[in-house]
Structures are given as C-alpha cells and as structure tokens.
Chain A
C-alpha cells in the first residue's frame, strides 16, 4: 500500500522543528526513525498533512549524562544506544531490554524517543522508562516542559504530548551504584523472536527488602509497583488479577494474567541474584 500525499519538511534545528509543528496545528507528525510511523502511513491508518523529519538535527543526536540521569536525544537510534560502551554499567536495565526491541535492522533507524512517543502498551522502552522513573523533555514554541514517565504515559498508544510538541529527549535515572544497583532483570514473552511482547516484565532491586516491578502488556500502559521481597509471588498474583489484562489476537486476558504470574517471580528472583 502507498501512503497518502503529505508535505515533507526537514528542519536543521529544534527551533525550526517546533515552528513547523506550530504552523501545522494538529496535522503534522514527527518522523524520526519511521519504523512505527511509516508502516502506518503506508497502510493509510494515520493522517498526516506534513511529516517533520528530525533525523538530521545534530542537536538531537546526542547522549549525555546530566544530574544523575542519562539524557538521550530524539534522533538517537536504538542501535546507537545499544552500542554505547557504558550502557551496561550505567543503565543495566536498558541494556537488558534493548536487545528485545524489534530487530537489528529496525534498531538501526528506530529511535529511543520514537518508541517512547509511540507508547505501545507492551513495548520495552516505555516499560523501562516507567520502572526507572524516567522523564520526558517536551519542547514547543510555547517553551519546554519535563514530565515524569507516569504523567507522560496515558494509555494504549496515547501520551500527554500535545500536537505542537516535540519530544526532544528522554532521561533515564542512573541505576544507583554498588551491588544493590546492579540488581535488574528483564523478561518478556513474544510469539516470535523480535515480535512485540505479549507480556514484558522488568524488575529492579531497591534495597535489601524491596523490589520494584514493572509490567507491560497487562494494561494500556506500563504499570509499576513495589513489593517486599518475600511477598513477591503472592503480591504479583494478586496484582495480575487486579490488572485483568486484555484480549487480542495472540492471547486471552486469562493467559496474560498467567504469563505475568509466571514471569514476575522469575524476574524478581533474577534481579535479586544479580544484585548479590
């Protein structure tokens, strides 16, 4: 299928980009990697009067450490982040999750921020952002605002980004140093290698007694809770029932709940083991 006609704009700076967004009102879409957007355009399931291609804005192709967080600009591809030599040390959970994101070929172009913007309910990067308590930097002609992940992520494919806003960067808090901070785990179940997860689970050890668990694919957006270590299995089982899960082509709601009940404790155990 071929896409509908659209204007194409390729700004060189962030200022130009937000000016274009303001000009088009609700009708422009950001093109970064295109791995989520272009299929939808080809299938004619989204509207776009204009595409704003931010992939060549050098100011957005930057990763840096700022005030205890790793800031990743909107043009940084998933493979670029994956190839960062300090990733395993500074963001071990992201290092564990990224290989599950799509395929090598799509990670060459797909961006970290693009995945956060797309907000698929079971996808890996939104899940890790939620679990780590990250934040999203939004820019528009009206200025800049920073939203915590839980305020940015609303529902299935829905975020708090206004139509004239550009995600300029996302920030992942550094995993705290020492043995405790290394305690992370990521697990997911998908039908085929590289497919969207049916259920994805991420775990972080907070301290000797507490773990924090995030789950994707059980609700419209990633959900996060903390538990006492010893109560994890029971707490996860109860939480699965509370979340209910949902039905789609690949899984019933009951199966999602059981997948979560199975995977959650395994992720917790692995995170604790890694922390030791």
Chain B
C-alpha cells in the first residue's frame, strides 16, 4: 500500500488559485436584478437613537429600501445567546447604539456606489450617552450601563474550585501574583464578509450564500432570528474563502440582515463588506485582564493556582460567547501538574465592537498570564526560569493525564520535547548571544513559553458556564460530531464531501491523502468537494472549520468512511478475483490479490460494479455506492457534577524559546533567534503543517509587537485603515526554527492532533518574557510597540 499520509503532497487547490480561477463569494454569479446593500454605522460609542430620517435617501436614484432597527424588530427575533440575560440583540441597533461602527441603517440600491451616495442623505439624530471602555471600569457600580435591564455590565460570573486551593495557599512557602492584560486585536483576513441572500415569498424561505466558517450551531440561531424552521433557511458556503481565523463566524448577524433586506425588497440582495467596516465592526478577539497567583514551594514547585479572568466582550455577548473563557477551561493549568486550582471567570460588556471567535481562542490570553507568572516565580525565587518550568511539567508516565479542571490530555512527553529543543547547542547559543550583548551594554533578553494546544472542542464546554443545577435542568450537552461521505460514480471515481468549510488550511488535499491511502489511489484521483449546502449536505451543529477540529475530527471521519469503503470493495473484489477478502489489497489504482498480484482489476471497474451489475455483488455486501462516517469520540463527556470538563479531544504541546534585542535608537524589538518545538502527534502532510505553524507564528508576532485595537476616551476607533492597523509585512516577521516531536494521540485512529493555533498562544508569551528579561521589568504590556518600549526605558531612567 502506497503511503500517502505523512508525505508533503502538493496541494490540489493550487492550480486553480494560482490561475485566478478561485471561486470566492464575490466572484460567483448573481441573479440579474440583484440589489446591493450598504450599512450606515454608528458614529457614537453609546447613544440613544432619537430619529431616523430616510426621506431624501429613499428619493435618491436607484434606491429600493432604507431599513432601520424598527423594521428589523418587527420582522425578526433577537439572537439567542449563550448567557441568559435581559440583553437583546438584533441585526441592526434598536433604540440604542452601543459601539462605534454598530450597524444602524441598511440602504439597498441598484449598485454599491449608489447605496453609499444615498447613505449620505440619511440623517440620524442621536442623544449621546457616557461610554465605558475599560473592562475594569465597566465592572464598577458607577459605570454607565450598556443594558439597563441587566443591571450590570458584568454579564456572567462563575467560580470554580478544584482540589483544595485554600489549603495549598496556606501551606505554600511563597505566594507570587501578577496582573496580566491581553490586548484586543483581530486577525483580519484579506477577504472580508460577503453575503448574497434571496427570499422566496411564496414559501417564506431564504437561500443565502455567505463566506461563513461555522460552527453550524449558528444555523438555528439565524433561522430562529428569521422566524423560519431550519429547512427554510438554506445556507450555502462558496468553494473558496479568503481566510477566516475565526473571524468569519461573525458574519452571521449580517446573514440575517441581508436576508431580511431580500424579503423586504423582493429582490436578491448582495453585500460585500469593505475594509473600513471590517476593521471597525466585523469582530475582534476579546481583551482580558487576568489576575493570576501561584502558591509555590522554595524550589519553584507550584502547589496551587488562582486565576481571576476578566474578559471584555464589547457591547454584546454574541453566540457562542463567552467561549474563549471556557474553551481552555480544562487546560487552565497548561502543561503543568497542578492539583489545586481556583478559577473565577467574569465576562464584562463595554462600548466596543462585540468580540468573538479568533484563532487561539482563549489560549493567548491564558498563556500570556501563566507563562509570565512562571518567569516571575523564577525571578522572585532566584531560580533559573527553565528549571522552574521543567520542575512543574506533567511527567511522561502520567499520560493520559486528567487535569484538575477535567481535561484528559491524550499523550505527550513534555520534558523530552523541551530537552530536544534546547539541545544541539540552541539554548547555549542564546545564552552566549545574551552574554555578549550585555557585555556591550545592549538590552538582550531570553524568553520561554510552554503551551498545551487543545483541538476539537467538546460542544459541552460552553455549558460549564452554567451551574451544575442549571445544566441538569437544561439537559446535558457534550461531544462533537464529525461527518464525511465517500461516493463512487459509475466509472468508479471517488468523491469526498465533509463537514468542514474551506479557509486555506488545505483540507481538500489532506482529505484526498487520507482517502487515497485506504483505497490505493493517488490523491490526484480523489475528488473532494467542500461547498457546504445545508439543504443537501450532511452537517451537525459542530460542522465548520474552527478550534482546529479538522485533524482530530473530520479527518478521522473521512478515514473511517474510507476504511469502510475499502472493506466493502475488498469483498466485492474478492468475488470478482475469486479469492478470499483477506487476500485482497487496494494498491496503485488496482484491486488485486496480495499473494498473486497479477490477479488484479482496475479500481474503477470493481468500484463501478455497484452501479452496473449489482448482481455481481457478494450477498453479504450492500452496494458500495456511498459510505458515510460519523465520528463521535467518547472522551468528550458532558461536564461532571463538580464542574470538571474535558474541553477538547486532543492536546498538542509547544515549547518556544527566543532571544530579543531592544534597539535603543528606534525602540523597536528585534527578534534575534526564535525556536519553536511542536508535538502535534502524527503529521498528515508536513508541508501543510509547517505552513500552518508559520502562519500562526506570524499572527503571534503581530499580537506581540504590532496589532491592537485602540479607542479614545469617547470610544472612537483609532485603527480605521490598514495604515493605522499594523498587519505585519514580510519585513516584520523574523525567521523561526521549527522542531518536531511526535506523540500520536491514542484517542483517534489517525493519531493526528489539531495544530495551527499554537503559536498564537505561545509566541506573545515568549516575546513578552524575553522583553521582560531584556529590560529587567515585571510588567510588559502587549503589543510591545516602540511607544511602549520608549515609555519603559524612560521609566527605568
């Protein structure tokens, strides 16, 4: 059998994309007569909407409709959210605006150009209210309330206790605490949101094309908002998408908006988001303030850990928020063996755009706090930071390891991976560079970061935000379903469909590799179609591409379907070859006898039998026309009565170390050397894996040094263009030396763990630690811009 997995197979996606034949949402044909929409957005961070006067706009050439929050309130229901609170959100602002950029009015016209012209004729009167922008301020009783009915901005608070944290803290030699903020930013994909919606008035049904990434748990949220049953809301995903990184979950409110516009105008309506809107209002990662404290022994061993995580979700908690606070919950102790843990999770609302899914998804926030604390422990106890890390790592023999908060880490040898990474003189070289630089009076520092990277979420994790009694009443939520289907056509050609959405992660290629592996074909012979259509494809609420679910989820379902198909074809082939099924192998495009390879038939001929001559099938075998596999791993149980939850299926490991130098002339941080060790279990395509790691690394560098959403005191958004929001270019990304270790996951047949969010989690922490070491400071705020470095240097002087 030819080994397809583990090989750097070139991508099937590339020829079309390189030739300009990609089919992104804005490329696809639209019906003649499609109208175009433009969103008028709030200029205020917080204000009452007093009056909307659309008369002049409606009279403008080519304008078909001007839609307000009142129209939306009549035709749709507020969005369901994960937190039950008297907070209502529709797709347009109703009565009040709560962030700069919030959609207030929709203009629908014959072209986007005309819609923007007409938008300038709409007058909206606002009564400004005081905004609150800082999460800590927003918790105070005197803070302006975003949702008066809720009585507070601190919309969700939950406390967890595992083991005996009070006892651990009482026993400890030392207690070491820090407050660590994580900034607000977004991994703005180069393609923005696109929605094309049609409404069938006779059926009251909707047909929407949008570059939505999932999870499809949002499908019922949208259908309910539109007041139609699921089958009357058909959502189609285009064949290609220009990146997402979590951001294209948040197109869902616009799907509802444009669907309503189609209903109101009786015409198809298209909306393409532009960059200005995307920056101010599409989505962002949540910013967080973590108070973290460790109870430690004199040797640096952590006896207990306390975290107070205050996360800022902006103006609304959109489903499925506050997910980042809970996605990492089982792994809140990271790579460390800590038994006694106390966690307080607080979600607060402020007058900024709603935060939502983003690559890293709670990991960057957690690990910045945890890894900064590890360095702090070493400094306070006068120990080597790497020694402190290693003293606390989970030992290899403990896997599968159940964490204090309930995660079941599948596999790993953390100490060994670290040992390899620092070996071959790498750490010694970093230390030499630091010594030489410091001898010349230069600011050079070394940083470390250790991360456990979860992949494929347990859908029950979000229910941890409810108490056990509330969960009992609501019914258990758990698991994660992955689905894939193989079909064989009359000429014996194989097609795969699966429940992932395309965003650039090369799913088409890897799925082809997986199926080709089992069927003895080359990946080029396997067709993969990933244009998900809720009316025709198999999907569950877990469908989509997010949380690195592909490698431990959908890939496994494809493997299972391929194995089942293989076994059927073996039985069918055995009959035609006149041998026993055990003697049959699928290889090199043939189905043949293993003991006598000349006794062979072409794959297509045997595979086509089910179409042309079902009479030739063995009695025991159903026609091998299609094979569907559904993968639901048993490890993803609901939260236990004492709030333990295995939040993900697989857990990878990352160890980063780096050297940085602070330039005293320009105040820039120069990354001198960066090493990143990854254990993601079995690697299905090393070329693609490296691409994912480098992409995440670039985004980690961006978070560490360049990107931040900033607001002035009135809540005005200051990063309104790509000249002001600093996405790194090639000149800003340092080289990274990538190392691999392989601890296959015992929880999936393929042994592959999801990877690709890891460096979003590890790199900001590693860089922050290196800067702290370089400057001898304890507080390093990210992004460590020249402005912040300059202020740190001035404070030191």
Contacts and interface: CB of A to CB of B under 8 A. Distances in A.
Q: Do chains A and B touch in the complex (CB under 8 A)?
A: yes
Interface of A: 1-2, 4-5, 39, 43-44, 189, 191-196, 198, 249-252, 254-255, 258-259, 262-263, 266
Interface residues of B, number: 31
A249 B666 contact: no
B274 A192 contact: no
Contacts of B790: 251-252, 254-255, 258
Nearest to A259: B666
Contacts, number: 67
Given A191-B726, A192-B732, A193-B731, A4 B786 contact: no
B126 interface: no
Interface centre among A2, A43, A189, A259 (most CB of B within 10 A): A2
Majority secondary structure of chain A interface residues (helix, strand, loop or mixed): loop
A263 B729 CA distance: 24
Given A1-B276, A43-B276, A249-B719, A193 B732 contact: yes
Interface in B703-728: 706, 710, 718-719, 721, 723-724, 726, 728
Interface stretch (B111-119, B407-415, B645-653): B111-119
A43 B280 CA distance: 14
B664 interface: yes
A251 B786 contact: yes
Given A192-B732, A266-B665, 20 more contacts: A4-B117, A43-B721, A44-B116, A189-B665, A189-B666, A189-B786, A191-B726, A191-B785, A191-B786, A192-B706, A192-B729, A193-B729, A193-B732, A194-B729, A195-B723, A196-B723, A249-B724, A252-B787, A258-B667, A259-B665
B787 A1 contact: no
A262 B721 CA distance: 30
Give the 6 A-B CB pairs with smallest separation, nearest first: A193-B731, A262-B665, A255-B790, A2-B113, A189-B666, A2-B116
A192 B728 contact: yes
A249 B711 CA distance: 10
B116 A1 contact: yes
B440 interface: no
Contacts of A192: 706, 726, 728-729, 731-732
A191 B665 contact: no
Interface in B91-141: 112-113, 116-117, 120
B791 to A, nearest CB: 8
Interface centre among A189, A249, A251 (most CB of B within 10 A): A249
B732 A262 contact: no
Interface in B753-793: 785-787, 790-791
A263 B786 CA distance: 15
Nearest to A262: B665
B643 to A, nearest CB: 43
Contacts of B719: 249
A251 B786 CA distance: 8
Contacts of B731: 192-194
B794 interface: yes
A266 B665 CA distance: 10
16 contacts: A39-B721, A44-B120, A189-B786, A193-B729, A193-B730, A198-B786, A249-B718, A250-B786, A250-B787, A251-B787, A252-B790, A254-B794, A255-B787, A259-B665, A263-B665, A266-B665
A243 to B, nearest CB: 17
Interface in B683-720: 706, 710, 718-719
B723 A255 contact: no
A250 B667 CA distance: 12
Contacts of B726: 191-192, 195
A252 B710 CA distance: 15
B724 A2 contact: no
B786 A262 contact: no
A5 B62 CA distance: 14
A2 B112 contact: yes
Contact of B706 (A2, A191, A196, A259): A191
B284 to A, nearest CB: 17
Interface in B276-298: 276
A258 B666 CA distance: 9
Contacts of A191: 706, 726, 785-786
Contacts of A1: 116, 274, 276
A192 B732 CA distance: 7
Contacts of A258: 667, 790
A147 B665 CA distance: 36
A1 B723 CA distance: 15
A43 B723 CA distance: 13
Contacts of B117: 4-5
A258 B710 CA distance: 23
B667 A255 contact: yes
A71 B668 CA distance: 38
Contacts of A196: 723
A184 B208 CA distance: 61
